Structure 1
Amino acid sequence: MPTILSVWAHPDDEAFGPVGVLAQAHAAGYRTVVITATHGELGQISPEIELDPTQLGSVRLEELHQACQAIGVDRSIVWDYPDGSLALANATELRDKIVEVLNAEQPAIVLTFGPDGIYGHPDHIAISMATTQAFAQYLALHPTIDQPRLYYQSVAPNSPRSVNAASSDKYPDPLPATTIINVSEYADTKRAALEAHATQRHDWQQFLDQADWFHTVYLHRVYPSFGLNDQPETTLFA
């Protein structure tokens, strides 16, 4: 059974990200594995929810568990790096922990944030860097294996973040989408995964009426590199 591994910083990153691709992978018979590096304990709490902020981390872990169930995730790995301080973590240790999972799972596909962190979030950027370095080390350690593919989360070509919005002076724009996948068949799965993260409703509810965000996944293929004359991919599971 081939494996798809996605590596994120917080609970709900997996739901904001390529849920449709993970659901597609599950339907295609892939083993799906999700790494979440923090408990998300510093997140904001939706105003309609009464919750002691000191309990947010444990509540968000339960929300992550429910979201992974909705998606069909086979293995959820959660670490306890401090939320908001992932960029200050021991980078070698973080890389090596990801390498350990790569060695154990031997994934065919790896997904994570790009160096832009989508909107410059330091935790997103840190997990992108660690995953990219771990992927390179894994390839070096196993030169004879079937070569896995590495993808970064990207955005739609007409997204403000992809056309040099003023705020992008602070951090890089997302790398252009090389892989554009229609996942409308899994819209209900994405909604269920998002709704599992009830404490974060204030973040995701605003996007529910954006059909493109809801029904299309945009990725940038990092490895093997995408040629200038290559046609955009429309699936990861051909």
Structure 2
Amino acid sequence: MPKRILFLMAHPDDETFGPGGTIARYARSGVEVGLGTATRGEAGMLGDPPVTDREHLGEVRARELMSAAEILGISSVHFLGFLDGQLAIVPREQLVERAVELVRRLRPHVLVGFGPEGVSGHADHKVMCEVALSAFDRSADPTWYPGGGDPAWAPLKLYQFEIARELLAGWDAPLAGVPRAKLTAFIDTTEQVETKIRAFHCHKTQEKDTRRILERPGYRIFARQETYVLARTRLSGLPFPEDDLLAGIQDE
């Protein structure tokens, strides 16, 4: 049986602009990569120039995500059904229950989400950080949400996608990093840089961000590595730093 990783994100494009290289690397190696996206990005940009209107933005961004997912190699995409920009006011139990249902259905060995500041500081990203932490804990406990239909499942690791603060110091961008010393996993994505950039261009509504990223000096060098903090684990004796999110996980 293949190993499985589930990414829990907030919006279409988070999977690409953030851990897209990691996704492509593991998908290419035969890992089943699933994606849970809380919203369809209804409150985001319309494109520059616009490619749709506000009424249809969610539909368009969902299609953009499916195109990017195909390029990155994502096995399955799941929309959790919430509204962009509204996650902070959604009852947290609803979000966590939906995430737990997905974890139990897909049975990932590893979860990947955002860190506490969500890299960009977006309120939805911060909420999804907390949702992933709760889902990691509760999906393994059959007393939580027993009516979901799938049995309890205990992921073995939860990582948070982060960027070293020292790298961001030279960027003119409103991003929040963590001290490099806090990072625990360093994933070599050298061979996936161009794949990730091709996936960028699927998100045509976000073309302004794509241009800003790709015009940044040295971006292709920066994109050769993606970094993480191990926030939860049920394993012991892991070697740090890690160069593999699946390190320590045995074949089924």
- Offset of residue 200 of structure 1: 0.1
Residue in 2 that maps onto 1:236: 245
Work out whether 1:198 is the aligned partner of 2:204: yes
Partner of 2:53: 52
Pair 1:182–1:191, CA change in 2 (3 A) = same
Amino acid at match of 2:111: V
2:187 match: 181
CA distance in 1, matches of 2:70, 2:11: 17
Please identify which structure carries the higher helix content. Answer: 1
Contact map agreement 1:114 1:174 (CA 8 A) in 2: no
TM-score scaled by length of structure 2? 0.82
SS in 1 for 2:227: strand
Percent identity for Structure 1 against Structure 2: 28
Q: Which residue does the alignment assign to 1:93? A: 94
- In structure 2, list runs of 5 or more residues that go unmatched: 144-151, 248-252
> What secondary structure sits across from 2:230 in the alignment?
strand
Distance in 1 (CA, whole Å) between partners of 2:160 and 2:76 is 21
For residues 72-124 of structure 1, give each alpha carbon's deviation from its aligned partner in whole angstroms, at most 9, with x where no partner exists.
11110013311111111121011011111111111111101111111321100
Superposed CA RMSD in Å reads 2.7
Q: 1:213 — aligned with what? A: 222
Match of 1:43 in 2: 44
1:159 aligns with 2:167: yes
Deviation at 1:207, TM superposition (A): 1.7
- The residue aligned with 2:66 is 65
> Structure 1 counterpart of 2:123, which letter?
P
TM-score by length of 1: 0.87
Distance 1:18 1:117 in 2: 12
How many Å separate the matches in 2 of 1:133 and 1:146?
12
User: In the alignment, what sits opposite 2:80?
Assistant: 79
Distance 1:146 1:138 in 2: 6
Q: Distance in 2 between matches of 1:102 and 1:145?
A: 7
Q: Which runs of 5+ in 1 are unaligned?
A: none
| 8 Å CA contact retained: 1:178, 1:226 | no
